[in-house]
Chain A
Amino acid sequence: MSKNSSVLSRVTDSAVVRRTKSVAKDTTGVAKQLLRSTGKAAWIAGTSFLILVVPLIIAMDREQQINELESQQANILGTPSAHSIPLAN
């Protein structure tokens, strides 16, 4: 038993194991930090996108739809309509 434990302690105390342990600890630390900062960056980018770009896309899409509708109506009526169509939304 004592021989066994001494072998175990010799293994755990060996330089290789100790270095492996510290490297593993460092790697997990760095990975955690990286994950956290990536998450933060993603959060900032995502919320900024939501605020700045999403309304723009929606507004431009609707504008295009109105334009299409207008040109369609102009085609049907055969006269170019100068005014916008009042939309009740």
Chain B
Amino acid sequence: MATMVPPIPTSDEKKNHDVKVDYSNLPCPIPFEELHREAMMSLKPELFEGCRFDFTKMLNHKFSLNHSVSMGPIEIPSQSAEVIKIPTSNYEFGATFIDHPRLVLLGRLLTDGRLTARLKYDMLENLTLKANAQLTSEPHMSQGMMNLDYKGKDFRTQFQLGNGALLGASYIQSVTNHLSLGGEVFWAGQHRKSGVGYAARYNTDKMVATGQVASTGMVLLSYVQKVSEKVSLATDLMCNYLSRDVTASFGYDYILRQCRLRGKVDSNGVCAAYLEERLNMGLNFILSAELDHKKKDYKFGFGLTVGE
């Protein structure tokens, strides 16, 4: 729930930036996969249906356990336009080890047999190893992924290796103080697919604009306007050239003293809101609502988060 709003610089600083760009001293860009993070923060809250309860217990300052219970209907993907839901309940047990800032280990185990493991390790000052694994009881659904990130002075690069012969690489470079450009290539050997993608990001203290195109036919544009330190408005446009579907959405993100409220409307006729209310230190109450007017699918959820 960290605010992403950077401190607003004084006007003197701004003037200096405008006058001359020091190309040998550019800031480090944002990682390629987090290019749209401001827009995602306000437009893609973790909406859920039903009830959930999360409890986190710090055993010492490096190790914590968490228990989470969720109950509610889960949507099953189907061919027909109708929405099929089955009621489910789940318990999740997790353990997290954080040796700040070099090592993060995370494991999650669900009662339906899913296991998620995550590792992040700073091997050198600039080189980070990330690994993700997801094991399920169903055959051929388990996944593994390994990333190697290198952070330079004004660029970042990443190599990706996954199961199903997935290979990927991305590179992003700061061009001016505000603008960064990047590209990626990937090859999925199992599905015999490959592609390239390009992205651009322009950010100032008041706004962030990003654009991304990929050879898969995906075009994603987003724009975030920070109205004040507490309020940001976001809009995005996603087109898929091959499947011919276009979605535009608009959302707001209010960070108030005791709560954080996010809302969005999109062109599919879905409007959603997500409220995180801080009742007490380490006690959060969550309300989630999503109305799909077109499908007549209404989802409401509430939850409680204890400890953090």
Q: Contact at B291–A60, with CB atoms within 8 Å? A: no
Assembly CA distance A87 to B275 (angstroms): 18
Tell me if B256 counts as interface (CB < 8 A to partner A): yes
Q: Contact at B257–A51, with CB atoms within 8 Å? A: no
Q: Contact at A51–B263, with CB atoms within 8 Å? A: yes
Given A44-B293, A48-B265, A51-B291: A66 and B257 interface contact (C-beta under 8 Å): yes
Residue from the list B258, B271, B279 in contact with A51, Cβ < 8 A: B271
Assembly CA distance A60 to B256 (angstroms): 8
Given A48-B265, A51-B289: A84 and B257 interface contact (C-beta under 8 Å): yes
Q: Contact at B273–A52, with CB atoms within 8 Å? A: yes
**Which residues of chain A in 31-89 are interfacial with respect to chain B, using CB atoms and an 8 Å cutoff?**
44, 47-48, 51-52, 55-56, 59-60, 62-63, 66, 84, 87-89
Tell me if B74 counts as interface (CB < 8 A to partner A): no
Assembly CA distance A47 to B292 (angstroms): 11
Tell me if B221 counts as interface (CB < 8 A to partner A): no
Q: Contact at B259–A48, with CB atoms within 8 Å? A: no
**Which residues of chain B in 269-300 are interfacial with respect to chain A, using CB atoms and an 8 Å cutoff?**
269, 271-273, 275, 279-280, 287, 289, 291, 293
Q: Contact at A89–B291, with CB atoms within 8 Å? A: no
Assembly CA distance A87 to B257 (angstroms): 11
Determine the chain A residues whose CB is within 8 A of the CB of B181 once the complex forms. Answer: none
| Distance (whole angstroms) from the CB of A36 to the closest CB of chain B | 15
Task: Identify whether the interface residues of B are mostly helix, strand, loop, or mixed.
Answer: strand
Assembly CA distance A74 to B269 (angstroms): 46
| Distance (whole angstroms) from the CB of B148 to the closest CB of chain A | 42
Q: Contact at A52–B265, with CB atoms within 8 Å? A: yes
Assembly CA distance A55 to B99 (angstroms): 39
Determine the chain B residues whose CB is within 8 A of the CB of A87 once the complex forms. Answer: 258
**Which residues of chain B in 250-266 are interfacial with respect to chain A, using CB atoms and an 8 Å cutoff?**
252, 254, 256-259, 261, 263, 265
Determine the chain A residues whose CB is within 8 A of the CB of B289 once the complex forms. Answer: 51
Q: Contact at B275–A55, with CB atoms within 8 Å? A: yes
* Known contacts A48-B265, A59-B275, then 11 further A-B pairs from the complex at CB < 8 Å, ordered by chain A residue: A44-B269, A48-B271, A48-B291, A51-B263, A56-B254, A59-B256, A59-B259, A59-B261, A63-B256, A63-B257, A63-B258
Across chains A and B, which 3 residue pairs bring their CB atoms closest together, nearest first? Answer: A52-B263, A48-B271, A63-B256
